[in-house]
Amino acid sequence: MAQTGFFYLFSAVLLFAAFRVVTARNPVHAVLYLMLAFSQAAAVWLLLKAEFLAIVLVLVYLGAVMVLFLFVVMMLDLNVDSLRQGFWRHFPMAALVGTVIALEMAWVLMGGFRGQGIVPDPALQAAAAGGSNSKALGLLLYSEYVYPVQVAAVILVVAMIAAIALTLRRRKDSKFIDVKDQVRVRAEDRLAVVKVDVTRAAPPPAPEQPAEAEKKA
């Protein structure tokens, strides 16, 4: 019963944190709520005896991705008012997409719950009996789900290339040095001696004051 109570506690905090990720007005607060949601999901996986998934979630997402994302959000000068513009105009489409995703997730989860009576692979049973869920997960990923894993890897590579391309695009408000122009530069291009003609004669010397003339005498 204690495990059930912890499950409902972690699930309630997870749902609250996920709701606040969407509704938070401050981007930094949204990232912090997302980190809280990931930590609660890791706790739920620990209750399900999936220690490997829980540790990976904490180390990869909480320890690297979310912290880096938090630093990026804090360093960027985000105009929150401009981000809020057009929210209600795009809300119907966003609600439709969210409803479709929720129905697909419910369909997949209910299908998984109905398929609990399926007999798993004997190799997976042997790995799980040995107490190593990491080995069982590896056998499952690289045997039955090898093609989805490869497709996910290709998608991640494409996303990484796209992120680098977006970061390295030319921006008018950023200062940069063209390496090719810097290599081709010559000494005579850096300094130019220009002879300027005199446009105005030098002013005549000021007359000496009487006191200064007496001192000189």
Tokens linked to 130: 């040995």
Residue 68 lies in a domain: yes
Residue 127 predicted with pLDDT over 70: no
State the average pLDDT over residues 27-36. Answer: 84
Look at residue 205 in the predicted model and tell me its pLDDT. Answer: 73
CA distance 131 to 126: 9
Q: How far is CA 28 from CA 3, 66, 72, in A?
A: 33, 11, 10
Q: How confident is the model at residue 17 (pLDDT cuts 50, 70, 90)?
A: very high
Residue 152 lies in a domain: yes
Residue 13 predicted with pLDDT over 90: yes
pLDDT tens-digit map of 178-194: 777 777 877 777 777 77
Is residue 73 domain-shared with residue 11, that is, in the same domain? yes
Show Cβ contacts of residue 161 under 8 Å, excluding neighbours closer than 6 positions.
none
CATH value at residue 26: 1.20.120.1200
Residue with tokens 């530069």: 185
CA distance 48 to 203: 94
Residue 181 lies in a domain: no
CA distance 87 to 19: 17
Residue 54's domain comprises 1-78
Domain count, the chain: 2
Residue 179 lies in a domain: no
Is residue 65 domain-shared with residue 133, that is, in the same domain? no
